[in-house]
């Protein structure tokens, strides 16, 4: 049977990817952050699973006002980095894991989750930046991926609790997958940030740290926050944090936090990363 | 219909109201994901905009790069990024332009390096009005 070894949460700020792509990580602005990420990268090197299920959101790249499902899962053999307006990031293609993806679709459907199925979606910074954060700049990514896209842009959004329950359904699906493979799950986006309007630049370390604490101490507390709570307290785009609930829901009751980094600013965002090992 | 989050100050979420108001301007912005559309827009901004069913004030806000006005006219910030990228500008230029008070690139960077805009005093329109 497949084994879900751990979850990671990380912000997916495009500037972080650009800093790596353009060789700026030694500059004063970035140095501290990348030094702080060293242990995270060490952990990933020592704990590379066969597949990572990566929960992200698409930022008007592949999905838009024309069509945006609440939850979409990628079943392609491979996925390309997307052109988001400045040309695609020059990072390797991502290999999919259609077998696991389809198993999740079937298992989740029996659990009342009807996931939209997509075979050809290009993946934007929401997906590729976390890969770069974890694995740096390899010629090929060390794991296959299953993309799970959550609509966190176009209201109405799924509730924080619904995201957690989707995670539980994914966790159950992984546990019943017949092959002996190891699997990781990542929640991406956040933490507090607001990118638009006169209030742009608002961040909230107190709310972010409580959210991070809750992931191991009281994960259900993070499911009781409304979208307005997130938007008011953690900025309009801080609502992305609900994607971390998918990651947390997939893990078991007992997790051990083995890494945390919190850093302001990355662009207009409070950067957060965490690794939770499944016990 | 009013929403619970309407009294968050200086904030423009994409919901059914902005969806309808901003549909065409956002679809224009989205089109800039494609290199051939960027080329067309670069050749003649006005002519390219005229191929979309946008309102005149939306077109002018695009041409004049008035980002806050764009949000007020229904654009969403994730879509607006495409225009910033088209101009090869860092996002902080747009952030600074939308901020109240308006900030330059450097001033916006400084605010963030100083810990960002504090949440206290910025939670609601009432907090803003009470200074
Ligand atoms: Fe995002």
End-to-end Cα, chain B, rounded Å: 28
Residue A150 is predicted with a pLDDT of: 98
Please, which pLDDT band fits residue A177 given cuts at 50, 70 and 90? Answer: very high
Contact across the interface for A195 and B91, Cβ inside 8 Å: yes
Reading the block at residue B103, the tokens are 């900030």
Rounded Cα distance between A14 and A56, Å, is 13
Q: Which residues fall within 8 angstroms of residue A111, CB to CB, at 6 or more apart?
A: A168, A169, A172
Count of other CB atoms within 10 angstroms of residue A55: 31
H runs (alpha helix) in A47-82? none
Contact A275/A7 with Cβ under 8 angstroms? yes
Contact A215/A222 with Cβ under 8 angstroms? yes
- Dump pLDDT digits (tens) for B11-40: 999 999 999 999 999 999 999 999 999 999
Q: Is the dihedral of CA A167, A12, A208, B93 positive or negative?
A: negative
- Dump pLDDT digits (tens) for A60-108: 999 999 999 999 999 999 999 999 999 999 999 999 999 999 999 999 9
Q: What is the mean pLDDT of chain A?
A: 98
pLDDT for residue A44 is more than 70: yes
**What is the average pLDDT across B53-77?**
98
DSSP H or E run through A209 = helix A205-217
Residue B1 is predicted with a pLDDT of: 86
For residue B87, give the DSSP letter.
T
**What is the average pLDDT across A260-273?**
98
How, if at all, do strands A116-118 and A3-10 pair? Answer: unpaired
Catalytic residue numbers of A, as ranges: 125, 193
Closest chain B C-alpha to A271 CA, distance in angstroms: 12
Please, which pLDDT band fits residue A2 given cuts at 50, 70 and 90? Answer: very high
pLDDT for residue A157 is more than 70: yes
Please, which pLDDT band fits residue B59 given cuts at 50, 70 and 90? Answer: very high
Residue B131 is predicted with a pLDDT of: 66
- Dump pLDDT digits (tens) for B86-96: 999 999 999 99
* Chain B residues whose beta carbon lies within 8 Å of the beta carbon of residue A15: 91
The CATH code belonging to domain B11-130 is: 1.10.700.10
Contact across the interface for B108 and A194, Cβ inside 8 Å: no
How many residues can be counted in chain A? 279
Q: In A, residues 41-60, which contact B (CB 8 Å cutoff)?
A: 59-60
For residues A231-270, one letter each, b for 16 or more C-beta atoms within 10 angstroms of the residue's C-beta and e for the rest, the string is bbbbbbbbbbbbbbbbbbbbbeeebeeebbbbbbbbbbbb
End-to-end Cα, chain A, rounded Å: 16
Whether chain A has a CB inside 8 Å of the CB on B119: the answer is yes
Can you name the CATH fold of A3-278?
A: Protocatechuate 4,5-dioxygenase; Chain B (3.40.830)
Give the percent of chain A with pLDDT over 70.
Answer: 100
pLDDT for residue A271 is more than 80: yes
**What is the average pLDDT across A137-156?**
98
Count of other CB atoms within 10 angstroms of residue B77: 27
Whether chain B has a CB inside 8 Å of the CB on A231: the answer is yes
Please, which pLDDT band fits residue A14 given cuts at 50, 70 and 90? Answer: very high
Residue A3 is predicted with a pLDDT of: 98
Among residues A162, A142, A141, A135, the alpha carbon closest in space to that of A150 is found at: A162
Count of other CB atoms within 10 angstroms of residue B64: 10
Contact across the interface for B38 and A85, Cβ inside 8 Å: yes
Please, which pLDDT band fits residue A261 given cuts at 50, 70 and 90? Answer: very high
Q: Which whole-number Å values give the CA distances from A2 to A49, A173, B80, in the listed order?
A: 11, 9, 42
- Dump pLDDT digits (tens) for A50-59: 999 999 999 9
Phi, psi of B89, deg, nearest 5:
-105, 150
Rounded Cα distance between B103 and B109, Å, is 9
Closest chain B C-alpha to A202 CA, distance in angstroms: 4
Please, which pLDDT band fits residue A199 given cuts at 50, 70 and 90? Answer: very high
ipTM above threshold 0.90? yes
Contact across the interface for A83 and B95, Cβ inside 8 Å: no
- Dump pLDDT digits (tens) for B89-130: 999 999 999 999 999 999 999 999 999 999 999 999 999 998
**What is the average pLDDT across A133-154?**
98
* Chain A residues whose beta carbon lies within 8 Å of the beta carbon of residue B112: 201, 264-265, 267-268
User: Based on the number of CB atoms within 10 Å of its own CB, is A92 exposed (0-12), middle (13-18) or buried (19 or more)?
Assistant: middle
Whether chain A has a CB inside 8 Å of the CB on B115: the answer is yes
H runs (alpha helix) in B2-55? 16-31, 35-43, 45-49
Q: What is the largest CA-CA distance in chain B?
A: 49
Rounded Cα distance between B113 and B109, Å, is 6
């Amino acid at each position: 049977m497949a084994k879900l070894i751990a979850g990671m949460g990380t912000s997916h700020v495009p500037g972080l990817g650009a800093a790596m792509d353009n060789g700026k990580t030694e500059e004063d602005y970035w140095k501290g952050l990348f030094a702080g990420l060293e242990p995270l990268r060490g952990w990933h090197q020592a704990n590379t699973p066969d597949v990572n299920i990566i929960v992200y959101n698409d930022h008007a790249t592949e999905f838009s006002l024309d069509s945006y499902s609440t939850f979409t899962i990628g079943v392609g053999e491979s996925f390309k980095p997307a052109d988001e307006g400045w040309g695609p990031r020059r990072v390797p293609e991502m290999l999919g894991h259609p077998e696991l993806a389809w198993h999740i679709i079937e298992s989740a459907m029996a659990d009342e989750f009807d996931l939209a199925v997509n075979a050809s979606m290009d993946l934007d910074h929401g997906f590729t930046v976390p890969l770069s954060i974890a694995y740096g700049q390899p010629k090929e990514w060390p794991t296959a991926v299953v993309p799970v896209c959550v609509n966190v842009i176009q209201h109405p959004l799924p509730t924080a609790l619904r995201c957690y329950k989707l995670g539980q359904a994914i966790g159950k699906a992984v546990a019943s997958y017949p092959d002996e493979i190891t699997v990781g799950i990542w929640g991406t986006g956040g933490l507090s940030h607001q990118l638009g309007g006169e209030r742009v630049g608002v961040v909230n370390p107190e709310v972010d740290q409580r959210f991070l604490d809750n992931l191991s101490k009281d994960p259900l507390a993070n499911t009781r926050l409304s979208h307005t709570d997130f938007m008011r307290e953690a900025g309009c785009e801080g609502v992305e944090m609900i994607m971390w609930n998918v990651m947390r829901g997939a893990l078991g009751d007992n997790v051990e936090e083995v890494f945390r980094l919190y850093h302001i600013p990355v662009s207009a965002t409070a950067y957060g990363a965490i690794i939770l090992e499944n016990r | 219909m009013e929403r619970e989050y309407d009294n968050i100050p200086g904030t423009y979420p994409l919901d059914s109201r902005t969806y309808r108001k901003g549909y065409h301007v956002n679809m224009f912005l989205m089109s800039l994901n494609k290199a051939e559309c960027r080329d067309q827009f670069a050749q003649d901004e006005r002519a390219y905009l005229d191929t979309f069913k946008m309102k005149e004030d939306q077109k002018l806000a695009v041409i004049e790069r008035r980002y806050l006005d764009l949000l007020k006219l229904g654009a969403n910030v994730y879509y607006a990024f495409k225009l910033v990228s088209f101009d090869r500008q860092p996002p902080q230029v747009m952030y600074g332009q939308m901020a109240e008070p308006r900030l330059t690139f450097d001033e916006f960077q400084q605010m963030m390096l100083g810990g960002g805009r504090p949440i206290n005093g910025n939670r609601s329109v009432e907090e803003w009005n009470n200074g």
